[in-house]
């Protein structure tokens, strides 16, 4: 009698590969993060000091507050519509939204106009958001397409880096897509996964941008069809119904080569294929490709602007000074550390960037001028 197969995502993926053959890196990433039962985001809240990683809203309340004020200001630039959808994609613990709404309440007419919509696929994080935002009227959605019509202010912080990427690798014989295969292991041994290249370079090669076709052997190009589809949808929605979207993430101005796929567990890097479902998987965002997709949808695009510059222009230094006034010495030190983490050039200030997608004709919103 053979032992029952282990109920791990590695085992499930190995079974799938045995039937279908090797899968794309994007398919692997989608399963590792979003498998309904064993996917990383589906089964747990991974944020914070006790989790695997920390994000800007969890570092300082000033981050969400300034975004709330940015939304209030952008709403006025939109002509102060009596109803506006305040939409967050991938809201984590709900911290950014809580801080944003509290800060936006300084403009009561804006506070009355907003309807809060969260696009979140993780049941574990939805439960966390429900607790954080218990005092607010919130509607949850599985995808952006479900958010009702109307002008919208949308925020996506560290959302696009969680969306699957395909990887295509240059070899001396041309471009080939990277795939995930199962390793041959003795009967009864734990299954293991490994990277391989597609047998015939046809599927992936067509995804390589013309500017990168002559990159040297060993180069890797990443493309995120899921991100581009959402950016196009955002652009089309903003063009048709008005509003603006603020996208903040770590990334680069493409086209560029580079293998940026990484796994993080307990605040440290882990091998990408070692523990699907138990480590966060991300890839850097190609802001140029995102901007082009949003423009294709019909939106105007501003930025990207480094996070440090955007937050400084929006007044994070002054806001931190105000918070410091009532603080103990220990709290003041923590506030200074948080400020440096968010805007410091060697920390999140430069690697993280902000892109604004806007309804045509709105003009550059606060922080994106110049
Ligand atoms: C890295 S966390 C960022 C959380 C939050 N924005 C923050 O800054 O703390 C990614 C978030 O996106 C959500 N997410 C990942 N893939 C998603 C998808 N395809 N649709 C909607 N939400 C998704 C995750 O559940 C999580 O809330």
CATH code assigned at 126? 3.40.50.150
Q: Nearest residue CA, atom 21 of ligand 1?
A: 120
Q: Nearest residue CA, atom 5 of ligand 1?
A: 92
Contact 147, 85 (CB under 8 A): yes
The pLDDT value recorded for residue 1 is: 42
Protein residues whose CB sits closer than 6 Å to any atom of ligand 1: 41, 47, 55-58, 90-92, 96, 119-122, 125, 157-159, 162
**Cα gap 31→326, rounded to integer Å:** 46
Q: Which domain holds residue 101?
A: 42-164+223-356
Pairing of strands 152-157, 84-89: parallel
Residue 23 lies in a domain: no
Residue 178 lies in a domain: no
Question: Tens-of-pLDDT digits for all 370 residues of the chain?
Answer: 444 557 899 999 999 999 999 999 999 999 999 999 999 999 988 987 888 889 999 999 999 999 999 999 999 999 999 999 999 999 999 999 999 999 999 999 999 999 999 999 999 999 999 999 999 999 999 999 999 999 999 999 999 999 999 999 999 999 999 999 999 888 778 899 999 999 876 777 889 999 999 999 999 999 999 999 999 999 999 999 999 999 999 999 999 999 999 999 999 999 999 999 999 999 999 999 999 999 999 999 999 999 999 999 999 999 999 999 989 999 999 999 999 999 999 999 999 999 999 999 999 999 999 7
93, two tokens: 């613990």
Residue 369 lies in a domain: no
Ligand 1 mutation target, pool 41, 143, 159, most atoms within 8 A of CB: 159
Number of structural domains in the chain? 1
Residue 36 lies in a domain: no
370, two tokens: 């110049």
Residue 55 lies in a domain: yes
- How far is C-alpha 216 from the chain's CA centre? 29
CA distances from 111 to 72, 118, 246, 347 (A): 8, 17, 19, 33
Residue 36 CA to ligand 1 centre (angstroms): 15
* Model pTM score: 0.96
Residue 363 lies in a domain: no
Residue 17 lies in a domain: no
**Cα gap 130→296, rounded to integer Å:** 35
Residue 123 lies in a domain: yes
């Amino acid at each position: 009698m053979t032992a029952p197969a282990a109920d791990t995502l590695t085992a499930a993926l190995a079974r799938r590969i045995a039937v279908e053959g090797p899968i794309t890196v994007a398919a692997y990433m989608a399963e590792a993060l979003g498998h309904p039962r064993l996917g990383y985001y589906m089964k747990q809240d991974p944020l914070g000091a006790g989790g695997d990683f920390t994000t800007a809203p969890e570092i300082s309340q000033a981050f969400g507050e300034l975004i709330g004020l940015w939304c209030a200001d952008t709403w006025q630039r939109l002509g102060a519509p009596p109803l506006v959808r305040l939409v967050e994609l991938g809201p984590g613990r709900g911290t950014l939204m809580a801080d944003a709404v509290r800060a936006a309440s300084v403009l009561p007419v804006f506070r009355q106009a907003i309807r809060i919509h969260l696009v979140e696929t993780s049941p574990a994080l939805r439960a966390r958001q429900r607790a954080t935002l218990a005092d607010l009227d919130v509607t949850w959605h599985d995808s952006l397409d479900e958010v009702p019509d109307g002008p919208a202010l949308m925020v996506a912080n560290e959302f696009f880096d969680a969306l699957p990427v395909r990887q295509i690798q240059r070899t001396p014989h041309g471009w080939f897509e990277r795939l995930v295969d199962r390793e041959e292991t003795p009967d009864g041994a734990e299954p293991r996964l490994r990277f391989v290249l597609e047998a015939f370079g046809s599927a992936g090669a067509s995804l390589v941008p013309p500017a990168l076709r002559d990159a040297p052997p060993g180069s890797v190009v990443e493309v995120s069809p899921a991100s581009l589809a959402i950016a196009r949808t955002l652009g089309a929605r903003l063009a048709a119904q008005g509003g603006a979207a603020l996208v903040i993430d770590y990334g680069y101005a493409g086209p560029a080569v580079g293998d940026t796929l990484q796994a993080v567990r307990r605040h440290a890097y882990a091998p990408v294929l070692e523990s699907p479902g138990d480590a966060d998987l991300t890839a850097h965002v190609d802001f140029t490709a995102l901007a082009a997709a949003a423009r294709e949808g019909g939106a105007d695009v501003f930025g990207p602007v480094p996070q440090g510059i955007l937050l400084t222009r929006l007044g994070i230094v002054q806001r931190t000074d105000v918070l410091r006034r009532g603080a103990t010495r220990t709290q003041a030190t923590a506030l200074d550390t948080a400020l440096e983490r968010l805007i410091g050039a060697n920390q999140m200030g430069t690697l993280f960037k902000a892109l604004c997608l806007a309804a045509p004709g709105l003009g550059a919103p606060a922080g994106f001028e110049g």
